[in-house]
Amino acid sequence: MLNKVPAITFAFWVIKLLSTTVGETGADYLAVNVGLGTAVTTGMTAALLVAALLLQLSRDRYVPVAYWLTVVLLSVVGTQITDILTDDLHVSLYASTAVFAALLAAVFFAWYRNEGTLDINAIDNRRRELFYWAAILVTFALGTAAGDLATEALGLGFRVGVLVFGGLIAAICIAWRLGANVVLAFWLAYILTRPLGASLGDLLAQSREYGGLGVGTVVTSAVFLTVIAGLVLAASLPPRRAR
């Protein structure tokens, strides 16, 4: 089996950030605007996620459409898991952030203990791929909880949240350039893109009354999904042969 994760390029990070934003705005649109509620939205998107994940697992190499469809649906489901804990079960954001952080550490520990590496350039067998997707799901749930904790519970607001999480990612990028461990830098940046995307999504979608720009969840989700589809389509096209 060939490596089933795309090359870590600028386009990778753009799609990842946009998919996290769609996870935030898309979940809000289905649960609130459409009126499905948190439980129905979670059940419906979880069923779609299972189908996408089975499609992804059935491939023997990286297929852009299958891979990024799974990521987008994981983003929505990860958001809904945190929202259920916070809104329906009234679990503190401090507690959920701590629990998801511990759970992610446990996934990484089991992954490293069994495979000896957390390098995503080596997702080339079934067990590593399952560890990889488990880690991705937890990063989305953790990022949602941490983002809500920062912007809501701690009162930073959406604009400051975008600046803070964007600044942290920039600092990680600088540290990587200066020689920091590449695997550690990747996973830290990957986790932080979730609260950055959530803050960006809320900033664009929420009304001005709540500190947003009032663009709305429909427009934000539609525009970002269109950009994601365009980038994934471009990645799916065969490369031009040199003359």
The SS3 call for residue 15 is: helix
> Does the residue 145 lie in any domain?
yes
For residue 180, give its domain range: 10-236
CA separation, residue 134 to residues 162, 164, 185 (Å): 26, 27, 19
How many domains are contained in the chain?
A: 1
Distance CA 122, CA 87 (A): 38
Amino acid at 171: A
CA separation, residue 168 to residues 104, 161, 185 (Å): 19, 11, 11
B/e letters for 88-106, b = 16+ CB within 10 Å, e = fewer, are eeeeebeebbeebeebbee
> Does the residue 4 lie in any domain?
no
Q: Specify the pLDDT at position 242.
A: 45
Distance CA 190, CA 174 (A): 15
Residues of the chain with pLDDT under 50: 242-243
> Does the residue 40 lie in any domain?
yes
Q: Specify the pLDDT at position 210.
A: 74
Distance CA 206, CA 51 (A): 31
> Does the residue 231 lie in any domain?
yes
> Does the residue 242 lie in any domain?
no
> Does the residue 3 lie in any domain?
no
> Does the residue 243 lie in any domain?
no
Contact 59, 236 (CB under 8 A): no
> Does the residue 67 lie in any domain?
yes
Q: Specify the pLDDT at position 49.
A: 93
What length is written for the chain?
243
Q: Specify the pLDDT at position 239.
A: 61
